[in-house]
Amino acid sequence: MLATNSCSVLALFPGYTKKKTVILLILLALIYFVLNWDGIKYSKISETPMHETHRIHRRNSALTSSIFNPTYQDYQRLIDLNDFYFNIINPEACNVPVFLLVLVSSAANHLHHRHIIRTTWGQQRTGIKIIFVLGKVQDNILQREIVKESNVYGDIIQGNFLDTYRNLTYKTMSAFKFMLYHCKKASYMLKIDDDDFVNVPLLLNFLKNDLSVSGTDNVFICNHLTGYQVSRNVSSKWYVSEMDLSDDFYPSYCAGWYVLLSPDVLFRLYETTQKLKYISVDDALIYGYAREKCNLVHTDFTRFTREYSELELDFNETYDSLPLLFGGPNMSSEQIKKFWLHFRSRPVLKSLRHEEKSRTKVLSKIPKVISL
């Protein structure tokens, strides 16, 4: 197409030499690439059928006060709780520039999980701030330990809702609240559970090289879930009564164990969820119902993650060139350490954009159990 056009253009100028034709062709090709650069760059990142049309916009999006006008009432409100406050808060955590804020949803008594994260992938690093998000406990001894831990590490926040599984949505929303009110200059936010692994060096390269060092709008990255039925089994962890939710199926949503967001998306999800009826299935409520209400589209990154049985993979040369950003959920301390030690000693990909070619080569060598 391009070649034919340029030839017919050339036919109008018989004085042109071969050399000039080549130069003109190169120029036209350059113009084509410049005009389509965004499409070329991102077409590979967002290729899952559901999300084919989604493009991550490259725009600086430090949260401005014009987007978010906090009010006293909003700070105290957490969906249907009207007397919310942080029992423990380390507001100075974000006094330094934060490129990536990692909010780790952690069960209050998981002191060991937090220790593992601090000593493996969560080790201190310029530009990254890790904060553990907890709920309130009734055990005074445990509470004293948590306060001590917070004094030593300065990386804990604790909301005044009871730390229970059914209160998980409060926990996630209080994490969002912390970013909006106390860390609003962070460029990106990763919400993750305390039993997962993050390949931090590769994640940083992805954010800086594939997205932008100065922050990017419209980032909503997760593992896509669809067709999930609302559980009516009262003994299930995910039980929701028909009174609280009459739907039989959830809308498409994200698995809650990790979600990567830009501040603008975080704000819209937060603002919308504040007005919804509480259910304890936090991922379905926030990344399903609230997402739908504010017309947000998420990008599926399942192929850059490993879940459950896939975590058993033996690290050897077969897997070395697989780009892995997140491992989980439900990883043991040993698995987290093993993953961390492995990736720590490997070269880090500069970008996820260029991984697809090498990946297809590697994939042919991998046994079928690992479905990507």
Ligand X SMILES: *[C@@H]1O[C@H](CO)[C@@H](O)[C@H](O)[C@H]1NC(C)=O
Among 4, 19, 66, 314, binds ligand X (CB under 6 A): 314
Query: What is the rounded distance in angstroms from the CA atom of residue 340 to the CA atom of residue 200?
Result: 9
Smallest distance from ligand X to CB 77, Å: 13
330 near ligand X, judged by CB under 6 A: yes
For ligand X, the closer of residues 120 and 158 by Cβ is 158
Is position 167 an interface residue for ligand X (rule: CB under 6 A)? yes
As a whole number of Å, the end-to-end CA separation of the chain is: 36
Residues 6+ apart with CB under 8 A from 332: 195
Residue 171: which residues within 8 A CB-CB, separation 6 or more?
105, 133, 134, 135, 159, 161, 163, 282
| Rounded (10°) angle between helices 140-153 and 111-119 | 10
Instruction: Rule CB under 6 A: say whether 209 interacts with ligand X.
Output: no
**Among 235, 246, 295, 364, interactor with ligand X by CB under 6 A:** 235
Rule CB under 6 A: say whether 161 interacts with ligand X: yes
Ramachandran angles phi, psi of 239, nearest 5°: -60, 135
Nearer to ligand X, 249 or 308 (CB): 308
Residue nearer to ligand X on the CB measure, 17 or 236: 236
The stretch near ligand X (CB under 6 A) out of 2-10, 175-183, 230-238, 252-260 is 230-238
Does 316 interact with ligand X (rule: CB under 6 A)?
yes
Asked whether position 162 contacts ligand X by CB under 6 A, the answer is yes
Longest dimension (CA), the chain: 90
Q: Which is nearer to ligand X, 292 or 312 (CB)?
A: 312
Q: Which DSSP string do the residues of 105-137 spell out, in sequence order?
A: E--TT-HHHHHHHHHTTT--BTTEEEEEEEEE-
For the record, the structure tokens of 226 come out as: 């669809």
Block residue for tokens 């498409």: 252
- Is residue 83 part of the contact set for ligand X (CB under 6 A)? no
DSSP 167-234: GHHHHHHHHHHHHHHH-TT-SEEEEEETT-EE-HHHHHHIIIIII-TT--SS-EEE-EE-SPBPB--T
Identify which of residues 128 and 134 has a Cβ nearer to ligand X in the complex.
Answer: 134
How many Cβ atoms from other residues are within 10 Å of residue 243's Cβ?
A: 7
Binding mask 350-369 for ligand X (x = CB under 6 A): -----------------x--
Residues 6+ away with beta carbon under 8 Å from 14: none
* The pair of three-digit structure tokens given for residue 170, joined into one six-digit string: 């409060």
- For ligand X, the binding residue among 6, 143, 164, 302 (CB under 6 A) is 164
The smaller minimum CB distance to ligand X, of residues 233 and 360, is found at: 233
Specify the residue, 122 or 329, whose C-beta has the smaller distance to ligand X: 329
Residue length, the chain? Answer: 372
**For ligand X, the closer CB: 205 or 333:** 333
The one segment of 3-11, 30-38, 229-237, 244-252 that binds ligand X by CB under 6 A: 229-237
| Residue 166 interacts with ligand X (CB under 6 A): yes or no | yes
* Contact partners, residue 22, CB within 8 Å, separation at least 6: none
Binding residue for ligand X (CB under 6 A) from 48, 109, 209, 318?
Answer: 318
**According to the binding rule CB under 6 A, does residue 236 interact with ligand X?**
yes
Q: Where are the alpha helices (DSSP H) in 213-330?
A: 263-273, 282-284, 291-293
Say if CB 120 and CB 340 are below 8 A apart. Answer: yes
**Cβ 209 to ligand X, closest distance in Å?**
29
Shortest distance (Å) from residue 47 CB to ligand X: 27
Q: How far is the CB of 108 from ligand X (least distance, A)?
A: 12
Residue 167 phi, psi (nearest 5): -100, 15
Q: Is 345 in the site for ligand X (CB under 6 A)?
A: no
Site for ligand X contains 148 (CB under 6 A): no
**Which residue stretch of 94-102, 220-228, 308-316, 348-356 sits at the interface with ligand X (rule: CB under 6 A)?**
308-316
Question: Would you tell me which residues interact with ligand X (CB under 6 A)?
Answer: 161-162, 164, 166-167, 233, 235-236, 308, 313-314, 316-318, 330, 332, 367
